[in-house]
Chains A and B, each alone.
Chain A
Amino acid sequence: MGLNELIFGGLAVLGIGVFVFVGRFRANRTQRERADRLRWNAVNKGLSSQKKS
């Protein structure tokens, strides 16, 4: 295994590890409670279809 595989393979494994670990936690409170937060139509549509059923 060369240096290329070691460095970039390590980066890939580390990236997946960070994604899996950090993904379990909710975003920072300041991120979630911002006044200028995005409103997602797709989420709202999903919620309204859930209510209908």
Chain B
Amino acid sequence: MAMVTVFKRQWAGLTAPAYALLQGLALGGISAMFEMQYPGIVIQAVGLTFGTLALLLLAYKTWFIKPTENFRLMIFAATGGIAVLYLVCFVMGFFGSSIGFIHSNGLFGIGFNLFVVAIAALNLVLDFDFIEAGAEQGAPKYMEWYGAFSLMVTLVWLYLEILRLLAKLRSR
């Protein structure tokens, strides 16, 4: 559903709500599993996710963070690197192997998770700038849905990473 939205932006008015519905089901299941293992962890992750969202929006609106070409390049590169690493880890999983430090609760694993949380959070700034630019230039209606979709994808990623980070910290 996400891929359809990315490649067919004109359909975002239909595909974005459908994606939200399906993602809600998936997140509900994942959150329930984490909550069973570590009681109280979900509300912590939700609080931290929305706290980060509000803080970064304030920072963006008040010009505290300036998204420039270099900023975008850095975030794109880091996000791409993380995606490739996760993909390699996913494929290695089929052969019963894994990249150890990604899932470890040691200092390196937690440090890596903190880095991923920071990159996910900084992606929100790019989403804000994209939405602001679209509104300013009078982009078509479906771009409203597309902007909301991109914000939702980043928020979901941030929430999952915070959840993983908290679980690692609790399991120590």
For A, the interface residue count at a CB cutoff of 8 angstroms equals 38
Cβ–Cβ < 8 Å partners of B47 in chain A: 7-12, 15
Interface of A, secondary structure class, is helix
Q: Give 1 or 0 for each of A22-53: 1 = CB within 8 Å of chain B CB.
A: 11011110111010111010111111011000
Give Cα A34–Cα B140 distance, bound, in whole angstroms: 24
Interface of B, secondary structure class, is helix
Q: Which residue of A lies closest to B6 (CB)?
A: A42
For B, the interface residue count at a CB cutoff of 8 angstroms equals 41
| A28 touching B63 in the complex, CB below 8 Å, given contacts A12-B51, A14-B54 | yes
Cβ–Cβ < 8 Å partners of B63 in chain A: 27-28, 30-31
**Could you say which of A4, A12, A13, A47 has the most chain B C-beta atoms within 10 Å of its C-beta?**
A12
B residues in contact (CB < 8 Å) with A:
9-10, 40, 43-44, 46-54, 57-58, 60-63, 66-69, 72, 126, 128-130, 132-140, 142-143, 146
A-B contact pairs, 17 of them (CB 8 A): A4-B43, A7-B47, A9-B46, A11-B51, A12-B46, A15-B53, A22-B54, A22-B57, A37-B133, A40-B134, A42-B130, A43-B137, A43-B139, A43-B143, A47-B137, A49-B140, A50-B139
